[in-house]
Amino acid sequence: MGKHYGNLQKVKNGRRRYAITPYIPGGFITAEQLIKIGETVKKYNGIIKITSGQRFLITNLKEEDLESIWNELDMEPAVKEQNSVKNVEMCPAGYCKRSKFNTISTGMKLARKYQWESMPCRTKIGVAGCRNACGSVYSKDIGVIADVTGFRVAAGGSSGFHPRESNLIAENLTEKQALMLVDKMIEVYREKAEPGEKLGDFIDRIGAQTFKKYSCI
């Protein structure tokens, strides 16, 4: 992450182009914000890419324009440091006929508490309102899923360079219990993981049963 929270994306014929990613909590955005983004991107000849992380990557930008663009957008960057909670992704549970609980509120509680928080390694959290787990929740470092019998919490998933299916840590929880378990798992991860160690790698190193024991609430 460079100056003014812009990443160098491309150098072509000596021209350097940068990208920024504004923070859009849960992927929910107002019409007014959407219009402002469109107008700003058009002004600076940017390109918008809708990402899998429920936000916009705005690329093809000049470095000297980054500060002005951020000021005009009046939005926070989605990522402020590499080893942190990079995103809390969530499905549209409150607007979906399949949801077993309106987990939008669950996801927003986690986002308000953990977005941008420092971690041993980059961390993604996913929240879903049913076992369909839209948003690839089981491939996230931490997953919270509502079911007919209560909440399930999973940990250690990854869809990156070394794909890993998450471990189911607990099920049949209340929302309050699920949130408390997430708090405890993050506490254990912060205290015991090595710098740069993904949560899934940490679980593999100490063993899933040991991780469950440490995270017991």
pLDDT in tens, the chain (217 residues): 444 688 899 888 888 999 999 999 999 999 999 999 999 999 999 999 999 999 999 999 999 999 999 999 999 999 999 999 999 999 999 999 999 999 999 999 999 999 999 999 999 999 999 999 999 999 999 999 999 999 999 999 999 888 999 999 999 999 999 999 999 999 999 999 999 999 999 999 999 999 999 998 6
CATH of the domain at 189: 3.30.413.10
- Contact yes or no for 119/135 (Cβ under 8 A): no
User: Which range of residues forms the domain containing residue 42?
Assistant: 3-73
In a domain, 80, yes or no: no
Residue at which a domain ends, from 73, 106, 124? 73
CATH of the domain at 46: 3.30.70.3340
Threshold 0.85, pTM exceeds = yes
Say whether both 205 and 107 belong to one domain. Answer: yes
- Contact yes or no for 208/167 (Cβ under 8 A): yes
Please give the sequence-ordered ranges of beta strands (E in DSSP) within the chain, or none if there are none. 7-12, 15-20, 47-50, 56-61, 85-90, 123-128, 142-147, 150-155, 167-173
